[in-house]
Amino acid sequence: MQKPTATAKKYIKNHDVEAIVLPVFSDEKDDPLFQDYDILMSKQISQTLDENKFLREDNTFTLFYTNKKTKAKLIAVVGLGKKEELSLEKLRQLGGKSFSYFAEKDAQSVALPLITAKKLKDTDEAAIEKVARALTEGFLLAAYDYDQFKTKKEEKEKEKKKQKIVSMQLITFNDIDLQRSQQSIATVTAIVNNVNLVRDLINGPPSIVTPDFIAQTAKKELSNKPYTRLTIFDKKLLEKNKMNCILGVCQGSVNEPKLIIAEYTPPKYTKTVVIIGKGVTYDSGGINLKPTGYLETMKDDMSGAAVVLATIKTAAELKLPVKLIALAPCVENMPSGSAIKPGDVIVGMSGKSIEIGNTDAEGRLILSDALHYAATCKPDYIIDLATLTGACVVALGSLCSAIMSKDDTLKQAITKASKETNEKVWELPLLEEYRDDIKSDIADLKNIGAGKGEAGSITAGLFLSEFVGDCKWMHIDIAGPVWTTKGSAYTQKGATGYGLRLMIEFLQELSKKK
Ligand code: BES
Ligand code: MG
Ligand code: ZN
């Protein structure tokens, strides 16, 4: 698809667009664009709406064929219900649904008007930039399709239909809004491209997306990005740095581990943030092998790594004035004669000894080396993103991640970013009382908690906290929302790309602070 554009309303009648979306509300007058189209359509649209009031209710699409009365071939009147209940998320969904609706109807180009609102339900203010961003974001996110491995012609044709839409434009009502929308479009295009990079990496088969593949991808994606630097620790360098936890988890695999260190140092910045992403390219559980039913989606266990690498790339593209270090420890967790075993003890880079209680609790092991390394960088903040525990999915389901931190500023900032992006988070408490549960009888720590996985997400968080020193740190357990079996208005089955928009929103706000 081409890069979206924005046009001012005065040009639209002459503009070549095949399909147009006209949003209507149940409690508000229709906008001038609607009026114009209604007149061109000999008032057929308003008559239909007057006779069928329910068409203004939320999420109602009504199609009008224009029969050459307008340049556009198709008009979809979309009911959005009450204007006072309008939210950024509704706009994002409108964007996504508009894409799918017209993709099925073979339209090549689609136009959506900006909706003016003083306030949106889920945000403090409703600046036109936000509206433009949400509509475009939903539309572009919905256009994603992972079809690299489809070989059957009919299947491909069916999927291809989606790709028929080649352009999207926003219609604005004045020139200032036009300029602002163009800015939003530039930003959101970069963001969505990177969400799709995350999706591609996660959807990729695990025998292709190995630690080395992720390292090569980082190289490729960051190669021409200004102010970035990439270092890759291979097995030798990991050994030299005593990163024995990363090495240990990967020692049963034929694929060698990599620690990817990507830095972005803009000319001007006040804050430094280290972002760490769990990069288990396949989590079989190791010697504590997972059973059928749990193995099938474990290629998504590198979602954190994909998110942090795409985040640093996006930050460089958007020229965010914040220094970033992305750490992605990448390993494969496999059972074999050389694999680590329950009962083993590993001393990683931090010097703390860890007894292996369960080889399937591998994420916290590789993160411990990365967190220790991060703490030596003395950043303002450390944030890790990890598909860390099944317990998190039990607690919060597949729509929400768990945040754990002792820093109120970080918690507030991430919660705010979560509201803006609708990438949901919920806090779990790092209860000190549970710290005893990760003590070992023979080593400093053990990598599992007590009982039958009681407070499994929290004890995992407490384990990580052992390696951050006195840094301000947040752990985000993204085990639930990175993957979906259903798909929604702007996500498809499989990898959702969750986390990238959350991180960028957080960093954008942070970079505004002194
Ligand atoms: N990658 C899994 C966590 C996971 C489970 C993510 C389900 C997404 C869906 C992680 O490495 C793991 O296996 N955790 C264990 C920890 C346990 C052995 C203490 C778990 O949650 O069962
Ligand atoms: Mg595991
Ligand atoms: Zn795992």
> Ligand 1: distance of its center to the CA of 141 in Å?
28
Specify the pLDDT at position 9: 72
Query: Which residue's alpha carbon is nearest to atom 3 within ligand 1?
Result: 389
Nearest ligand, CA 387: 1
pLDDT in tens, 139-148: 999 999 999 9
> Ligand 3: distance of its center to the CA of 198 in Å?
17
At residue 157, does pLDDT exceed 70? Answer: no
At residue 111, does pLDDT exceed 90? Answer: yes
* Mean pLDDT, range 204-208, rounded to an integer: 98
Structure tokens at 464: 């990580």
Query: Which residue's alpha carbon is nearest to atom 22 within ligand 1?
Result: 390
> Ligand 2: distance of its center to the CA of 280 in Å?
9
Sign, CA dihedral 30-36-38-42, equals positive
DSSP state for residue 85 in the 8-state scheme: G
Q: Looking at 28-32, 88-92, 322-326, which range is the least confident one? A: 28-32
Torsion of CA 21, 23, 29, 35, to 10 degrees: 0
Torsion of CA 155, 156, 157, 162, to 10 degrees: 110
Q: State the chain's mean pLDDT as an integer.
A: 95
Q: Which of the residues are catalytic?
A: 290, 364
492 lines ligand 1 (CB under 6 A): no
CA distance 421 to 266: 25
Domains along the chain with CATH numbers: 5-197 (3.40.220.10), 204-511 (3.40.630.10)
At residue 13, does pLDDT exceed 80? Answer: no
Nearest-10 crossing angle of helices 408-421, 500-512: 120
497 φ, ψ (degrees, to nearest 5)? 85, 10
Q: Looking at 118-122, 254-258, 295-299, 430-434, which range is the least confident one? A: 118-122
Contact in structure between 87 and 5 (CB atoms under 8 Å): no
Q: 151 vs 147, 148, 158, 171, CA distance in Å?
A: 9, 8, 12, 38
- Strand runs labelled E in 48-204: 60-65, 74-79, 109-113, 167-172
pLDDT in tens, 461-473: 999 999 999 999 9
448 lines ligand 1 (CB under 6 A): yes
Contact in structure between 464 and 367 (CB atoms under 8 Å): yes
Specify the pLDDT at position 341: 98
At residue 153, does pLDDT exceed 60? Answer: no
pLDDT in tens, 312-331: 999 999 999 999 999 999 99
| Reported confidence tier of residue 165, pLDDT bands at 50, 70, 90 | confident
Helices (H), 231-362: 235-240, 244-250, 303-317
Which among 335, 334, 61 is positioned nearest to 206, based on CA atoms? 334
